[in-house]
Amino acid sequence: MHRTVISDGVLTGEIDGEIVWGQNKADLVEKFAITKDIDLENSFGYSNGGADRSMLELLGHPVAVNPDRDLAAASADNGWARLRFERRGGNLYHLARTLLGLLAVIGASGAAMLCSMGRDRRTLRNRLLRWVPTTALRCAGLRIRVSGPQTARTVRPAIFVFNHQSKSDALIIPISWVTPPPPWSPGKR
């Protein structure tokens, strides 16, 4: 299992240990289940890639989500559940929502700048990071609910992992930066 390297209390961004991938992931899931007395037959697992086939084979409820070719074949062969989420089409409604989101970014940026005139740069930055993504997400019809707001606002080290398949991450990540210290937010390439 790999861990992030911490030097003098600061995350360096370096990785220590082996990358959890393929059979390594399956082995670690099995080891974790044994140490925590977890019944894998009653456990669910979700993946979109064939590299996770061995991990999914351990579970009683494997689910292929938007599977690649290898995982689609494995899920068909094994009778696993499959979830498919399609991209929304380019109809007029979606085009209008995207345009509204873009206008919201421009309008919220302008409002943050006007309301921050004569103030320090931190005030402007915080307003931009809070107002722009919140306004754009609301105009796009997305709402973010925080479970345990006391935890979200606590000064703490935090790591957020974002799904590389979501276009909304670029709007969600800045919201988390407003609460100091800024979290470390790795993503997959």
More confident site: 14 or 70:
70
Listed in sequence order, the DSSP H helices in the chain are 23-35, 53-57, 69-78, 92-115, 121-139, 149-152, 169-177
pLDDT (tens digit, 9 = 90+) per residue, 57-83?
A: 999 999 999 999 999 999 999 999 999
pLDDT (tens digit, 9 = 90+) per residue, 77-113?
A: 999 999 987 765 668 887 887 788 888 889 988 998 9
> Which tokens is 179 given?
């609460």
Average pLDDT value over all residues in the chain = 78
pTM of the model: 0.49
pLDDT of residue 185: 47
pLDDT of residue 32: 87
Q: What is the mean pLDDT of residues 172-178?
A: 58
